Amino acid sequence: MTRFGLLFMPTPPEMFVPWVRMADEAGFERIGIGDSQSLYRDVYVSATLAATNTERALIGPRVTNPITRHPSVTASAIASVDELSGGRAFLGIGTGHSAMLNIGLTPAKLSTLREYVVCVRDLLTQGKGEWRGRTSVLTWPTRSVPILIAAAGPQALELAAEVGDGVIVGCGMTQPAVDDAFERMDRGARKSGRTVDDLDIWWYVPTNVHEDHDEAILEVRAAVVSGAHAFFYGGVEGRHAPRHLEEPLRQLVEGYVIDQHTRPGQSQANADLVDRLGLRDYVLDRFGIAGDPRTVVDRIKELNRRGIHNFWMSMHAGDKGRVVGLMRDHVMPHFT
């Protein structure tokens, strides 16, 4: 079975609300909302709009981080969304990327992520949690919220599978990357007495569908390079990159313009960067799905054969309604 989710950035309500309504009606199972305070509107305000304008899809941050909010603030916020949505909330969390880099900080350490996830879960389920040697209290939630951890590197994938209810995988979709990801997640899951089959696993996929195949590729470049930057930010060694591309990938990390991160129509420098370094075909194959509807159907079937069945798509196109409509009418019917 193939499942689909969507990621939207918190854009102005007059744009955001019609998109999430359309995605919900189209049958997308997850609607994630980006959390990057320097670039977009507040994630929980947008999650509230999504919760009150949808009926079926699960709603939540995709993803927040352990730095910009105390765990009690996050736990209270996501419990509020869960209550408002009738139990349809999830919490996506990772070490942080643009939310960190745009305020002069670096992504959180994995030890911090572990402690944060445990504290938030304890607050939601027990009303009390430990954070940095102090006890936090939350008096009112009555239901646990699924926690999905965004992970890309080997250690992060193991941690996510050990302590998360699910994993949002960001290491890319080449066969070596997929095989290694499953091995790492299985290793992590077994540390907590589980297997990968017990986890809700999704692949992060920048996506664009357009009647014009070439236009789809041009429009998605900034999105796929953002995925490459997030993954290779920690280095290229041991991450299944072709040796002849290791130096261009280092240059991609160094040259990436973080305040243009995944902003359709405003990320031209990053779109141009991937072309200038000769990395377009590689990053698109590893991190993205793009093209005309027939090409996208074939691509998803190919990725199914690689072992990927849950696609959490980031719609980095100016006209997101077009992409959702083409997915609904010409792509998703092939996978029902």
In this predicted structure, what is the pLDDT of residue 222? 84
Q: Helix or strand or coil: residue 168?
A: strand
Tens of pLDDT along 55-65? 999 999 999 99
Q: Is residue 240 part of a domain?
A: no
pLDDT at position 257 over 60: yes
Specify which residues 33 forms β-bridges with: 8, 61
89 inside domain: yes
Whole domain around residue 192: which residue ranges? 3-212+288-335
Q: Is residue 324 part of a domain?
A: yes
How high does pLDDT run on average in the chain?
A: 94
Q: What is the pTM of this model?
A: 0.94
Q: Is residue 167 part of a domain?
A: yes
Q: pLDDT confidence of 265, banded at 50, 70, 90?
A: low
pLDDT in tens, 83-133: 999 999 999 999 998 899 899 999 999 999 999 999 999 999 999 999 999
Q: Are 181 and 289 in contact (CB under 8 A)?
A: no
* Alpha-carbon separation of residue 14 from 32, 49, 58, 214, 307 (angstroms): 18, 11, 21, 29, 38
Q: Total domain count for the chain?
A: 1
Taking the C-alpha atoms of residue 294 and residue 309, their distance in angstroms, rounded to an integer, is: 18
- 258 within a domain of the structure (yes/no): no
In a domain, 130, yes or no: yes
Distances (CA, A) of 131 to 66, 143, 159, 193: 11, 20, 18, 25
The CA distances from residue 25 to 31, 203, 247, 328, in Å, are 12, 22, 44, 9
Query: 121-151 as b/e, with b when 16 or more CB fall inside 10 Å?
Result: bbbbbeeebebeeeebebeebeeebbbbbbb
Q: Give the pLDDT score at 260.
A: 72
Q: Which residues contact 336 (CB under 8 A, 6 or more apart)?
A: none
Instruction: Report the first-to-last Cα separation within the chain, whole angstroms.
Output: 8
Residue 219, in any domain of the structure: no
Residue 125: predicted pLDDT: 96
pLDDT tens digits along 154-168: 999 999 999 999 999
**What CATH number does residue 320 fall under?**
3.20.20.30
Give the C-alpha distances (Å, rounded to integers) separating 52 from 21, 59, 90, 106, 142.
10, 10, 15, 34, 20
In a domain, 265, yes or no: no
Sorted by sequence, the CB contacts under 8 Å of residue 29 that are 6+ apart come out as: 3, 4, 5, 56, 57, 58
Q: Are 286 and 228 in contact (CB under 8 A)?
A: yes
